[in-house]
Amino acid sequence: GLLLMVVVHAANIQDRDGAKLVLEQIKGTFSRLQLIWADAAYAGQLVNWVKITCGWVLEIVRRNDDVKGFQVLPRRWVVERTFGWIGRYRRLSKDYEGLTESSQAFIYAAMIHIMSRRLAKRETLPG
């Protein structure tokens, strides 16, 4: 989807712990946010933490264990599509940056470009 907030952190921070960093930063910013989708890596105590700390519902999208092989998870394609979008920008195709702040800045620049192109398509010219 369209990124609301980006936090790039060192690789030694587990995604579940990194989620807390992001959610703590946005909790006062997005008052209309009610539901967050996440994969099974975010299950467990994080679900309760999000409800208590932020007042949001963290819905875990789970794989069906009865189905063998590859399966498309609901809402997962949104995440993969977003990675595809930002991966098309040269500085984001690989991890070139030495500072996490630089990576964050380039992700924001890419998303600003993506969002403004989308908005420009919706504009209709008079006449």
The number of distinct structural domains making up the chain is 1
Q: Does residue 81 form part of some domain?
A: yes
Contacts by 102-109 with C-beta closer than 8 Å and gap 24+?
103/8, 104/6, 104/7, 104/8, 107/3, 107/6, 107/8, 108/3, 108/6
Q: What range defines the domain where residue 60 resides?
A: 15-122
Q: What pLDDT was estimated at residue 47?
A: 94
Full-model pTM = 0.70
In which residue ranges of the chain is pLDDT below 50?
none
Q: Does residue 29 form part of some domain?
A: yes
Q: What pLDDT was estimated at residue 96?
A: 74
